[in-house]
Structure 1
């Protein structure tokens, strides 16, 4: 292998410089895009983060990730179908906005707990606690990193999905018109803005 590439050092150096330059320019473009068109940047990055991993996992046959992804995606699509495609979604007597909020709230909470658990396991492993328990570090690190990945991935994805849905849900409920940023509905302080029902707060 080394004999095959001998004498190509200058070409390799140029390729490395091109790669570094492309990464630098791409980063500038992404920062500019995020600054000038935050909504489109957020939506594209969200869909990319949602779709790309499942193709990679299918190619690598990561069945655990595929099963979890399919379950969460199916539940999410089932819950957000009506808020996305039904106009004038009234909150009077409807539990749909509340169900959507509850699903994302619980999903984000569980993801946070999983991420913190994974981080704790990794830190305890680095501190050598696993040795006191007679557990090999490769096992605890694998579990910790796995939990950390799943917690962060689904936590960030849930947050981005929530940001994506909030404007659509508010418009379909009737709080404001998409063509105007002015609110079209006023609620008193004792009415829930999600389900439209009174509360004692």
Structure 2
């Protein structure tokens, strides 16, 4: 196959490089220098982020919230993950509308209840979906360990797969974290409106957060049967009165633990 009078191309290439050095290989010093350059850059970036968060916490939180909110959607458009994008659009529409209500001047008295109802529902749904996906993933793992996955594979694979379980965890974590951060922004805006636009209601007739009339007066000694069907009233040590749903949303969803 090889003609001695016509050398093979690789032989010709070897003849051309005969007596010449091979292509230059990276020196160990350059590799070490690159490693330390990357390491120093990472440390400086982390230090800068820590300084930013410590000295300008509000801008840091808003910028990270914007990135968490927008960049996954852009990625899904590029990768054509339309299902996630549809859920993201619904979440963005509802949350954006509620945020606009929080920024309104004057703020409507029903806004706090709407905001906390939505974010509390989102919190419960996110926890439920994430927990379900987590336990399903554990179930697949243990079935694989004990060699029982073949017994239920035909049944389970028609309903749920490990990939779907991971997606459930992702949906729960993403919208849970994003909803928590958005709820905090809404709560801050509402606290500004409540604190500067009007004082907390101190009468026995109005909720200190939403300002709507209280109809449960069991804390004043009224019989429980007379207020049946109305939302329970909660009175704090500061003597302010609240609807049970309003004060729970204020403390749980809005992460506000002060009056």
Matched, 1:99 2:114: yes
Deviation at 1:46, TM superposition (A): 0.8
Structure 1 residues 191, 52: closer, same or farther in 2, change over 3 A? same
Bigger Rg over Cα: 2
Comparing 19-28 with 152-161, greater Cα deviation is found at 19-28
Matched, 1:39 2:54: no
Deviation at 1:145, TM superposition (A): 0.9
Q: Provide the C-alpha distance between the structure 2 equivalents of 1:158 and 1:81, rounded to a whole number of angstroms.
A: 16
**1:169 maps to which residue?**
190
5+ residue gaps, structure 1: none
Structure of higher RCO (CA pairs closer than 8 Å, 6+ residues apart) = 1
TM-score by length of 1: 0.79
**1:89 maps to which residue?**
107
Q: Provide the C-alpha distance between the structure 1 equivalents of 2:203 and 2:137, rounded to a whole number of angstroms.
A: 47
TM-score by length of 2: 0.63
SS in 2 for 1:128: helix
Q: Provide the C-alpha distance between the structure 2 equivalents of 1:64 and 1:13, rounded to a whole number of angstroms.
A: 45
Structure 1 residues 25, 72: closer, same or farther in 2, change over 3 A? same
5+ residue gaps, structure 2: 1-22, 217-231, 234-259
**2:8 maps to which residue?**
none
Matched, 1:8 2:29: no
Deviation at 1:185, TM superposition (A): 3.0
**1:122 maps to which residue?**
137
Q: Provide the C-alpha distance between the structure 2 equivalents of 1:184 and 1:194, rounded to a whole number of angstroms.
A: 10
Q: Provide the C-alpha distance between the structure 2 equivalents of 1:122 and 1:188, rounded to a whole number of angstroms.
A: 52
Q: Provide the C-alpha distance between the structure 1 equivalents of 2:124 and 2:27, rounded to a whole number of angstroms.
A: 51
Structure 1 residues 185, 14: closer, same or farther in 2, change over 3 A? same
Q: Provide the C-alpha distance between the structure 1 equivalents of 2:46 and 2:39, rounded to a whole number of angstroms.
A: 11
Q: Provide the C-alpha distance between the structure 2 equivalents of 1:102 and 1:6, rounded to a whole number of angstroms.
A: 66
Do 2:126 and 2:176's aligned partners in 1 also have CA atoms closer than 8 Å?
yes
Please list the CA deviations of residues 179-198 of structure 1 after superposition, one character each: whole Å capped at 9, or x if unmatched: xxxx8434468853442232
Matched, 1:112 2:122: no
Deviation at 1:122, TM superposition (A): 1.4
Q: Provide the C-alpha distance between the structure 2 equivalents of 1:184 and 1:125, rounded to a whole number of angstroms.
A: 55
Q: Provide the C-alpha distance between the structure 1 equivalents of 2:115 and 2:181, rounded to a whole number of angstroms.
A: 14
